[in-house]
């Protein structure tokens, strides 16, 4: 992949993330704080961004969003494949509980 194409993809991902985050915050602030993993202060900043500010921020060559967990157990639970739908469902719930616990500890 060419460097310019990679930078274009990063900018597009940033803009999409900012638009989604702003919409989530405006629609349901408490749920957005949880799902985005941002503080009340950051949510306030995101909610108040103008379109011009969003374009400027999105143009950075660094991704604005990041993976919120780096625990191998969570990744294994999320990527586990089983023929048993119940087992897959339990694994997903277990992963969600672990991620929520990690977010609470970080706060």
Q: Are 58 and 64 in contact (CB under 8 A)?
A: yes
Residue with tokens 């349901």: 28
Alpha-carbon distance of 88 to 83, in angstroms, equals: 8
Range in 25-29, 30-34, 35-39, 75-79 with the lowest mean pLDDT: 75-79
Report pTM. Answer: 0.68
Whether the per-residue pLDDT at 101 is higher than 70: the answer is: no
**What does the block give as tokens for 57?**
């921020």
Query: What is the percent of the chain with per-residue pLDDT over 90, rounded to a whole number?
Result: 52
């Amino acid at each position: 992949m060419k460097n310019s194409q990679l930078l274009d993809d990063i900018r597009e991902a940033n803009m999409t993330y900012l638009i989604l985050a702003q919409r989530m915050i405006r629609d349901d602030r408490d749920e957005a704080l949880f799902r985005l993993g941002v503080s009340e202060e950051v949510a306030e900043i995101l909610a108040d961004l103008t379109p011009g500010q969003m374009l400027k921020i999105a143009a950075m060559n660094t991704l604005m969003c990041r993976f919120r967990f780096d625990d191998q157990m969570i990744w294994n639970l999320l990527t586990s494949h089983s023929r048993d739908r119940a087992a897959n469902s339990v694994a997903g719930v277990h992963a969600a509980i672990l991620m929520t616990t990690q977010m609470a500890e970080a706060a």
